[in-house]
Structure 1
Amino acid sequence: MKHSLLIFALACLGMQVQAQQVLCLDSCRAMALRNNKTLVASRLQLDMAQYNTKAAKTKYLPHISAVGGYELTSREISLLSKDQKKAISGAGTNVVGSMQSDISGALTGLAQQGVLTPDQAQSLGNMFGQVGSKIGEAVNHVGQSFVNALRTDTRQMYAISVMATQPIYMGGAITAANNMAKIGESMAANQIDATTQQTIHAIDQAYWTVVSVKHKKDLAESYLQVVKKLDDDVQKMIKEGVATRADGLKVAVRVNEAEMSLTQADNGLALAKMLLCQLCGMPAETEVTLADENTPNIATASTSESASADKAEAQDNRPEMKLLQNAVDLSRQATNLVRAAYLPQVLLTGGYMATNPNVYNGFERKLSGVWNVGVMVRVPLWNWMEGSYKVRAGRIATRIAEMEREDLGEKIDLQISQCQFKLKEANRRLVMAMKNVENADENLRCATVGFKEGVLQTTDVMAAQTAWMQAQSQKIDAEVDVRLSQVNLRKALGVLQ
């Protein structure tokens, strides 16, 4: 039975240990970089910029487009007027009628002259009438065929056109657009670097804050044990009549203060871990344990990192400087793009167009067309100096961007100097805090011994305990300050990874 209970207890303990995740600084950074939504959005912007670069390259290549259409109209296109159609279709009747009138008059004159008898003239007139009627009908048929041949039949029209265009010279617009796309891709990559460094900086601050609060919680627990031990000793001394009730009340007040400090440390640790979990992309209520929580010394004093800082290298490493350089380059290419709009442009065109009815073969009801090749040239002649004004405005914008980049460079130099001074100051504070801790330990030991020997009062011991508490707290603050100063300096140098 006892063995079963022991096994069950060990299993529960193993489950609790497994439930609590142990995280080091690198694992926190990795989770934050993997789950940070701003960083994910920056990566998507890089993908978008890469697609824009590919799209810009296609401007160098020929572009082919096709257009088709159908149109139904109430009337067709006519090459002849109504009077012309009537005259051509009745040409035989008109000509034969005129000839018959002339022949009848001539035969009547011959009959009057006695050359022909009236019967002969009538017989000849009837014969010419019959022949003229047939000739008129034949000519009318030919005229009507001619009118029908000139009919367009365009009430229903189909058309299709395939056109290819190849830029020959666009004033540098295509080159400028491609350069702008490449700069946009570089800006997206630099934005990822900037977001990465900001994320790592936030994680480092949250991580060392948790470590600091955890150490202060441990310190509060140690201080509570010390004051409880003093309270227990004072209570024994009160019973023996060596100490007064007032001494006991003073120590009791100090115990209450120590318990309140421990409660505040517990709450602060919980909130600090919730913030760290949120930055890592985990639920805020996740129980985590940091690898450096129980490390005796959070940091050691060192000046090598501050001495190795290179300001010139920082100018090349900082993503903010790279982004401003991208802005300068982008402004220059934008100026080139504006200038290209006011330069000559040459395009090579070619294609095929087909229609039904076929306008190239007497409006035949058949889809047919023609090939075409040409060159299109556009030359701006006069725009009242609009292009010159826009180019000058673009150059001014470029100069403004260059000034912003130079100003940021000066601020970066100043920031690096400030971080170097803060790191040196933090190292000095840590050295002094460690000496103060040694003195406070010795002071507390002497006060405790003196109190037990009856040489010192309760107030002397509490003062020594307070001094020891402050020295330990200052040491923790100094150690964390060194860590954060190192992180700030690396971020200022652009090497925070």
Structure 2
Amino acid sequence: MKKLSIVAILLFFGATSIAQTLTLNACKELALENNKRLKESQLKLEASGKVRKNAFTKYFPTVSASAFAFKSSKNFLDIKTDAMDLPVYDGNPAHLETATQFAYVPPINIQTLDYANTAMVTAVQPLYAGGRIRTGNKLAEVNEDVTQYQYNLTKSEILVTTEDYYWNLVALNEKTITLRNYEKLLKELLKEVGDFYDAGLVKKSDLLKVQLELNKVEGNKLKLNNGIDILKMTFSQHLGIPYTENFNVIDSITTILPPQNYYTETDLALKNREEYKMLNKAVETEELQKKMTNGELLPQLAVGVGGMYLDMIDQDNTYGLVFATLSIPISDWWGGTYKKQEHEIKMEIAKNSLKQNSELLQLQMSKAYRDLTESYKQIDIAQTSVSQAVEHQKEMENNYDAGLTSLSDLLEARAIAQEAKDALIDAKAKYKINIANYLKSIGEKR
């Protein structure tokens, strides 16, 4: 990581004269470190992890605290009684009606309960919730798995795009070399024809033909350099680094392994595809959603403990509580039946999507391998064309030196050889890119 940071710093100060060249692996590391899409996927993955951890807390008691206080403008208890005489009770109920002695009770006026302060803490532990807590945790785990697959898919796409930019830049660099060599040959020929012209051995039109071909090369150099600059700008943005003209890649397209080195059976490769894993998780999600609906229709049982403090009527007390709750969703059974049927239909849709898209994924793998084999054969064809074009060029050069062919034929032969070399470079770059695309199609992580 320190080495990568040093590279990034050097690229940032790209105005220096040191050429900044990166390997393919260094480009991949920069792309993964700085790509904004991948950072967004990483944040989503972290968020899904928090959702899973939150779901796990549902296994534990729910603790809550509450407090309540009031002060009233009037007393809630306002009791008034008149004065009265109460018979004295001697223990015999029969004497109450004929009592001769009475006790005087003065009038009573009670005014109280104009305030109250109370606080309560409770802890409730669900004993049975229809399996919804367990199902909810599984749903959170599935969501995290899907987010991980999406992250992996984004990462794979970024790496393939990195290889695409990388090998195209390598190809343009190699075309620059072949064009420079072609230009060198033309300049040597221009000097030779110029000497012949000065000696009166050739016509001026021959000299002009070489000069026109050199002008064409200058135009091609301009287009090629502009293409390289634009590609470097785009590549730098993809890597998340400042653009500098000193930025370049280090490889050349030399190692070419046959397609058989990368081949994997589609049935085996299918299980490695992130899309296939997500399709399976979609089926699992619908199954869990159905279980969640079933749980909503089942009784819910919980027990709890609590403590309460009560300050009222100039007295304060604390109380301990133990309680249990049982909830039966009777009225939900009717609508819940249709909801269960809805999830059964969605399960069938998810299973059908899994089957259909699995076939499409396998077709995609087959096509990617066909593209790979085709591009490999194109390299053979291009190499044969280069050999034939170079041989034709040498023959034309020998014939020209012997005075057996015209200058136009020589220029044409060299132009054909130049085009053949460029075609070979394009074929090799395309093959490298197709390797990356095929490995992505079979779910191989690079």
Is TM more than 0.5 here?
yes
CA-to-aligned-CA distance 1:117-171 (integer Å, 9 cap, x gap) = xxxxxxxxxxxxxxx9xx85xx32xx53xx44xx4x2212111111221111111
Where do 1:100-115 residues align within 5 Å? Answer: none
Q: Where does residue 38 of structure 1 map in the other structure? A: 37
C-alpha contact 1:301 1:482 (8 A) present in aligned 2: no
1:413 to 2:362 alignment: yes
Larger helix proportion of the pair? 1
Q: Where does residue 106 of structure 1 map in the other structure? A: none
Which SS does the other structure have where 1:388 is aligned? helix
Q: Where does residue 264 of structure 1 map in the other structure? A: 223
1:317 to 2:272 alignment: yes
Where do 1:319-334 residues align within 5 Å? Answer: 319-334=274-289
1:374 to 2:323 alignment: yes
User: For 1:162 and 1:470, how far apart are their aligned partners in 2?
Assistant: 85
Which SS does the other structure have where 2:130 is aligned? coil
CA-to-aligned-CA distance 1:207-261 (integer Å, 9 cap, x gap) = 0010011111112212222222222222222222332222222222211111110
Closer, same or farther in 2 for the Cα pair 1:392/1:439, shift >3 Å?
A: same
1:235 to 2:194 alignment: yes
Q: Where does residue 98 of structure 1 map in the other structure? A: none
C-alpha contact 2:15 2:244 (8 A) present in aligned 1: no
User: For 1:391 and 1:155, how far apart are their aligned partners in 2?
Assistant: 53
Which SS does the other structure have where 1:65 is aligned? strand
Where do 1:121-140 residues align within 5 Å? Answer: 139-140=105-106
With the length of structure 2 as denominator, give the TM-score of the two structures.
0.88
Q: Where does residue 193 of structure 1 map in the other structure? A: 152
Query: How far did residue 394 of structure 1 move?
Result: 1.4
CA-to-aligned-CA distance 1:386-439 (integer Å, 9 cap, x gap) = 101111111222222222222221112111111211111112111121121111
1:348 to 2:307 alignment: no
C-alpha contact 2:122 2:304 (8 A) present in aligned 1: yes
C-alpha contact 2:297 2:333 (8 A) present in aligned 1: no
Query: How far did residue 180 of structure 1 move?
Result: 0.7
Where do 1:155-170 residues align within 5 Å? Answer: 155-170=114-129
Query: Given residue 70 of structure 2, which amino acid in structure 1 is its aligned partner?
Result: E
Query: How far did residue 464 of structure 1 move?
Result: 0.1
Q: Where does residue 5 of structure 1 map in the other structure? A: none
Query: How far did residue 345 of structure 1 move?
Result: 1.2
Query: Given residue 141 of structure 2, which amino acid in structure 1 is its aligned partner?
Result: K
Structure 1, unpaired ranges of 5+ = 1-14, 96-131, 358-362
1:75 to 2:24 alignment: no
Query: How far did residue 17 of structure 1 move?
Result: 8.3
Query: Given residue 260 of structure 2, which amino acid in structure 1 is its aligned partner?
Result: S
Runs of 4+ more than 4 Å apart: 15-18
C-alpha contact 1:231 1:248 (8 A) present in aligned 2: yes
1:300 to 2:293 alignment: no
Q: Where does residue 495 of structure 1 map in the other structure? A: 444
User: For 1:158 and 1:206, how far apart are their aligned partners in 2?
Assistant: 72
Query: Given residue 400 of structure 1, which amino acid in structure 2 is its aligned partner?
Result: I
User: For 1:170 and 1:38, how far apart are their aligned partners in 2?
Assistant: 40
User: For 1:237 and 1:395, how far apart are their aligned partners in 2?
Assistant: 89
Query: Given residue 161 of structure 1, which amino acid in structure 2 is its aligned partner?
Result: M
User: For 1:52 and 1:159, how far apart are their aligned partners in 2?
Assistant: 35
User: For 1:233 and 1:335, how far apart are their aligned partners in 2?
Assistant: 86
Where do 1:21-32 residues align within 5 Å? Answer: 21-32=20-31
Query: Given residue 30 of structure 1, which amino acid in structure 2 is its aligned partner?
Result: E
Which SS does the other structure have where 2:125 is aligned? strand
Which SS does the other structure have where 1:19 is aligned? coil
User: For 2:434 and 2:445, how far apart are their aligned partners in 1?
Assistant: 12
C-alpha contact 1:301 1:431 (8 A) present in aligned 2: no
Larger strand proportion of the pair? 2
User: For 1:366 and 1:157, how far apart are their aligned partners in 2?
Assistant: 10
CA-to-aligned-CA distance 1:149-205 (integer Å, 9 cap, x gap) = xx4x22121111112211111111111110011111111221221111111101111
Query: How far did residue 287 of structure 1 move?
Result: 2.1
User: For 1:249 and 1:442, how far apart are their aligned partners in 2?
Assistant: 26
Query: Given residue 232 of structure 2, which amino acid in structure 1 is its aligned partner?
Result: K
Query: Given residue 314 of structure 1, which amino acid in structure 2 is its aligned partner?
Result: A
Task: Determine which of 407, 426, 441 is the counterpart of 1:477.
Answer: 426
Query: Given residue 394 of structure 1, which amino acid in structure 2 is its aligned partner?
Result: H
Closer, same or farther in 2 for the Cα pair 1:372/1:384, shift >3 Å?
A: closer
C-alpha contact 1:324 1:401 (8 A) present in aligned 2: yes
1:449 to 2:398 alignment: yes
Query: How far did residue 477 of structure 1 move?
Result: 1.0
C-alpha contact 2:229 2:245 (8 A) present in aligned 1: no
Query: Given residue 172 of structure 1, which amino acid in structure 2 is its aligned partner?
Result: G
Where do 1:195-234 residues align within 5 Å? Answer: 195-234=154-193
Structure 2, unpaired ranges of 5+ = 1-13, 88-101
User: For 2:338 and 2:439, how far apart are their aligned partners in 1?
Assistant: 45
User: For 1:243 and 1:408, how far apart are their aligned partners in 2?
Assistant: 69
Query: How far did residue 286 of structure 1 move?
Result: 5.8
C-alpha contact 2:396 2:405 (8 A) present in aligned 1: yes
User: For 1:40 and 1:56, how far apart are their aligned partners in 2?
Assistant: 25
1:181 to 2:140 alignment: yes
CA-to-aligned-CA distance 1:321-366 (integer Å, 9 cap, x gap) = 1122222212221222122222211121322223221xxxxx4x12
Closer, same or farther in 2 for the Cα pair 1:316/1:384, shift >3 Å?
A: closer
Task: Determine which of 411, 428, 431 is the counterpart of 1:462.
Answer: 411
Task: Determine which of 75, 84, 87 is the counterpart of 1:91.
Answer: 84
Q: Where does residue 206 of structure 2 map in the other structure? A: 247
Radius of gyration: which is bigger? 1
Where do 1:397-436 residues align within 5 Å? Answer: 397-436=346-385
Query: Given residue 221 of structure 1, which amino acid in structure 2 is its aligned partner?
Result: R
| Corresponding residue pairs, total | 419
